[in-house]
Amino acid sequence: MTSIDAHRSAGTTMSLSNSPFANRLNTNYVPSDSEILEIRALLVDPTEEIARIDAQIAEMESALAQLKEKRGLLQKPIDAHRTLISPIRLIPQDVLLEIFFACLPTKHNALIDYNEAPLLLGRICRQWRSVAYSAPVLWSSIHIPPFNYLSTPPNVLLGLERIVAAWLERSATCPLSVSVFDYINSKLEKHPIILLLASVAGRLRSLALAGDVELAKPLLRLGAEDVPLLKTIRLKTPTSQRPTLDLLQIPSLEDLTLCISTSENPLSLPLPWSQLTTLRFECYGHRHSRDGGLDFDGALDVLRKCVNLEYCEIRVCSRSSQNSGLTRNSSSILLPRLHTLFLGGWHFRLEKWISDLVAPNLRSLQIREEPTGTAPPSHGCLSVDIDVNRFTSTSVHELLQAFPLISHLQLSSKASPSPEWLNDEFMGLFRSPHNFCPVLTDIHTLAPAAGFSDAAILAFIRGRMAMPTPLRRFQAHFNRPMEFDIMPELEPFISDGLQVTLKYPPPSWAFRVRDGLDGPQPFLLIK
């Protein structure tokens, strides 16, 4: 009789904890026929025990399901009663309105979107809808997106007009901020949305228009008496169209963005130049002609006219005339309130002009293709970001001398090669005895063809770290190989917080394991 039979004759349940095959488990052992029978007999009792346990589990799960169902039936009325005393219901209406105001977008006008405020606020409950619809300030801004009136179903267009009309009605007497972007040549005689906006022109505080000039005429022809509150205008029209500019003559205008085509001298535009505090100016010749438009000397004259500017972006859209050097206005450019200045556009080169600029509060100067959009540094510091190919050796020296409070300097270039002046001698200007930019803490060169050496970088960093205002960050990109590794020499400065990033191209001999995978595969020659 085996041990298994003995257990069964005694009426006890066999446990696998004392299995005679314990030392064979989890191995590759192959049992004999007799052992297979013994193993099967060994599993009978535990298998029956599992069946009993499964039955108990099923019974408990059935009881648990019944309890959950009972709990659910009790929870529903409990939740319904708790909703009556929820804190949101007890919030005073003025506090609720403050929450609603905080839900509105801050970087653009409110969208016609039922998933965003303010339309979303009217979909929560009857009370919220009543509060939201009776608060005119919630509806004081609106962005109207472009619609193709030729392909959009008429019912959709009619629905849009109704939404805009209801939106404007809810705004009551509040000043309005409106942006309208529409398709060109929509073949409409009159634009229904433009007509709606013209009917509330007296409340317009900010207006952005982009699209067909003819359709926008009901707004562009408005005069000062029609728009007494209007302070901000953003206007962009096709280069093939010349807009009527009556709207730009209003004396209340302070913030202007203008991207238009004109055959006239841009400086003769009927604008309240001296009142502007914010200006984004891009004026082309007709159909991007090489004649007309704003040249660099004209851009400087624009600055001279806008004495109250705080923020300014000007894009040069025309070559300077050949005789401009003879007639160039060399008077000072006095901008006491200016904190941000961007000059870009046509690839002009800068000669003697920076000394004319008097801007004691300037904190961001960008002379490059496009503005970076970054916030200027704190008061007392100046960030300068320049395209090095727009400067000569003389003009870049003039720039550095004119602005001793430069704390952040970025040198960028998309053209190759970089100018000859961007070399070791240039880097030496920041060290003794010159010590240009004594408070410089960050320098970043994105001019890959920069001609300064690794030795010059090392000398530059050592010199700056010995100054009262030490360097905090140095970044440089090169299209040449590393001459020698300067990082070990900089380790003491790096341990004190200096950040150094040097990028070199990979060596031409680099082993690239995936090269050739996409090319034709060689034949395997078998002899």
**CA-closest candidate to residue 278, choices 342, 222, 226, 330:** 342
CA distance 217 to 244: 7
Residue 290 pLDDT greater than 50, yes or no: yes
Contact 198, 224 (CB under 8 A): no
In a domain, 233, yes or no: no
* Between 8 and 382, the higher pLDDT residue: 382
pLDDT of residue 211: 82
User: Which uninterrupted H or E stretch holds 64?
Assistant: helix 44-84
In a domain, 489, yes or no: yes
| Phi and psi angles of residue 498, each rounded to the nearest 5 degrees, phi first | -65, 135
pTM of the entire structure? 0.77
Q: In angstroms, what CA-CA distances link 417 with 369, 448, 508?
A: 17, 8, 20
Residue 352 has what DSSP assignment?
S
CA distance 34 to 353: 105
Which spans in 85-189 are helix H? 87-90, 93-102, 126-133, 154-170
In a domain, 463, yes or no: yes
For residue range 128-149, what is the model confidence (pLDDT) as tens digits? 999 999 999 999 999 998 877 7
How does residue 527 score in pLDDT terms, banded at 50, 70 and 90?
Answer: very low
In a domain, 429, yes or no: yes
Provide the 3-class DSSP secondary structure of residue 517: coil
In a domain, 459, yes or no: yes
In a domain, 402, yes or no: yes
Residue 324 pLDDT greater than 50, yes or no: no
**Cα–Cα–Cα angle for 505, 507, 513, nearest 5°?**
110
Residue 249 has what DSSP assignment?
G
Residues of the chain with pLDDT > 90, as a percent, come to 48
Sorted by sequence, the CB contacts under 8 Å of residue 271 that are 6+ apart come out as: 248, 249, 253, 256
Sorted by sequence, the CB contacts under 8 Å of residue 283 that are 6+ apart come out as: 258, 259, 260, 261, 262, 266, 269, 293, 294, 317
Contact 474, 498 (CB under 8 A): yes
Mean pLDDT of 324-350: 78
pLDDT of residue 450: 67
**Mean pLDDT, all residues of the chain:** 85
CA distance 96 to 288: 52
Domain extent, residue 398, equals: 372-509
CA distance 110 to 178: 9
Q: Outline where DSSP puts E strands in 296-374.
A: 311-316, 333-334, 340-345, 357-358, 364-367
pLDDT of residue 187: 61
Residue 225 has what DSSP assignment?
T
In a domain, 212, yes or no: no
Q: Outline where DSSP puts E strands in 95-221.
A: 141-144, 176-181, 204-210
Q: Which residues pair with 500 in a beta bridge?
A: 474
**Domains contained in the chain, number:** 1
Contact 360, 319 (CB under 8 A): no
**CA-closest candidate to residue 177, choices 227, 239, 237:** 227
* Domain at 410, CATH number: 3.80.10
How does residue 385 score in pLDDT terms, banded at 50, 70 and 90?
Answer: very high
pLDDT of residue 116: 94
Contact 427, 396 (CB under 8 A): no
In a domain, 194, yes or no: no
pLDDT of residue 284: 81
Mean pLDDT of 253-271: 87
Q: From the CB of residue 385, how many other CB atoms can be counted at a distance below 10 Å?
A: 20
The tokens describing 326, both together, are: 């003879």
Q: Outline where DSSP puts E strands in 28-102.
A: none
For residue range 400-420, what is the model confidence (pLDDT) as tens digits? 988 989 999 999 887 767 788
**CA-closest candidate to residue 167, choices 86, 111, 251, 228:** 111
User: Which uninterrupted H or E stretch holds 283?
Assistant: strand 278-284
Residue 517 pLDDT greater than 70, yes or no: yes
Q: In angstroms, what CA-CA distances link 263 with 112, 153, 240, 287, 308?
A: 37, 38, 11, 10, 27
For residue range 205-230, what is the model confidence (pLDDT) as tens digits? 999 998 888 888 888 888 889 999 99
pLDDT of residue 14: 59
